[in-house]
């Protein structure tokens, strides 16, 4: 029987994991996504190309909910995203079942990042080719959170971040213009960041979690 124990992601002589870095390249080619955290709101935005005229745009969900209080947007291989999102949704429900409490944003981010890391250290598999932006409010609190994960499996919390195509310019814009905002101001900031990089024939979809 074929044994899937030959690793695909191995170290290079100078300490790089090339498969992970190539995965990050795939992310850089994906759609732009931005997330901005305010004092009472957190906003996700993704760029959407409207060039495909015959496609039913409602079937392409770029921002998905993992649970009632958590939403996720990603940049990169959308097929990989589907798999990751399904596992995350199951984990959200499993957590609700075992401790009778909804997940915290940090918990589910840690789970997704752990999953991404596992696929960089297992035999016969390649890393997930996507970075995710996860937003939500922890249960019983009104504190918003924004986290980002990447193909290497690292995650961290952000006040504002962008990923995907032209993420560097978006991040520069956010760094220059970020300040603690709330409500509509935060939404405007996220949209302005997206408008920096996407052309006028694209439109944005925002998810607002309050």
Partner 1 sequence: MKLDTTGMESAAPVWGSHNELVDGFSAAPSFELPNTTDFDGFQKEAIQMVKPAKGTTTLAFIFKEGVMVAADSRASMGGYISSQSVKKIIEINPYMLGTMAGGAADCQFWHRNLGTKCRLHELANKRRISVTGASKLLANILYSYRGMGLSVGTMIAGWDETGPGLYYVDNEGGRLKGMRFSVGSGSPYAYGVLDNGYRYDMSVEEAAELARRAIYHATFRDGASGGVASVYYVGPNGWKKLSGDDVGELHYRYYPVMPSTVEQEMVEVTGA
Helix, strand or coil for residue 132? strand
Q: How far is the CB of 112 from partner 1 (least distance, A)?
A: 15
Q: Under the criterion CB under 8 A, does residue 7 sit at the interface with partner 1? A: no
Q: Is 86 within 8 Å of 148 (Cβ atoms)?
A: no
Query: Of residues 1, 10, 99, 200, which one binds partner 1 by CB under 8 A?
Result: 99
- What radius of gyration, in Å, describes the C-alpha atoms of the chain? 17
Q: Under the criterion CB under 8 A, does residue 142 sit at the interface with partner 1? A: no
Distance CA 145, CA 62 (A): 19
Q: Under the criterion CB under 8 A, does residue 100 sit at the interface with partner 1? A: yes
Q: Which stretch binds partner 1 (CB under 8 A): 26-34, 97-105, 167-175, 201-209?
A: 97-105
Site string for partner 1, 101-140 (x = CB under 8 A): x--x-xx--------------------------------x
Tokens of 195: 């408008």
Distance CA 58, CA 13 (A): 46
Q: How far is the CB of 108 from partner 1 (least distance, A)?
A: 11
Furthest CA-CA distance within the chain: 59
Q: At what angle do helices 167-177 and 184-197 cross, to 10 degrees?
A: 140
- Judged by CB under 8 A, the chain residues 176 through 205 that form the site for partner 1 are none
Provide the binding-site residues for partner 1, judged by CB under 8 A.
Answer: 98-101, 104, 106-107, 140
């Amino acid at each position: 029987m074929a044994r899937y124990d030959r690793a695909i992601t191995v170290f290079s002589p100078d300490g790089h994991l090339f498969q992970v870095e190539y995965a990050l390249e795939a992310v850089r080619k994906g759609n732009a996504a931005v997330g901005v955290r305010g004092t009472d709101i957190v906003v996700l935005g993704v760029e959407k190309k409207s060039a495909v005229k015959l496609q039913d745009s409602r079937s392409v969900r770029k921002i998905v909910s993992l649970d009632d209080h958590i939403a996720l947007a990603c940049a990169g291989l959308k097929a990989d995203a589907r798999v990751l999102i399904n596992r995350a949704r199951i984990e959200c429900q499993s957590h609700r079942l075992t401790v009778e409490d909804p997940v915290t944003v940090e918990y589910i981010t840690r789970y997704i990042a752990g999953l991404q890391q596992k696929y960089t250290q297992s035999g016969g598999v390649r890393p997930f080719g996507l970075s995710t932006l996860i937003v939500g409010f922890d249960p019983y609190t009104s504190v918003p959170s924004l986290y980002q994960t990447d193909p290497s499996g690292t995650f961290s919390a952000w006040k504002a971040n962008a990923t995907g195509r032209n993420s560097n310019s978006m991040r520069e814009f956010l760094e220059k213009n970020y300040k603690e905002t709330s409500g509509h101001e935060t939404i405007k900031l996220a949209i302005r960041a997206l408008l920096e990089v996407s052309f006028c024939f694209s439109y944005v979809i925002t998810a607002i979690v309050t």
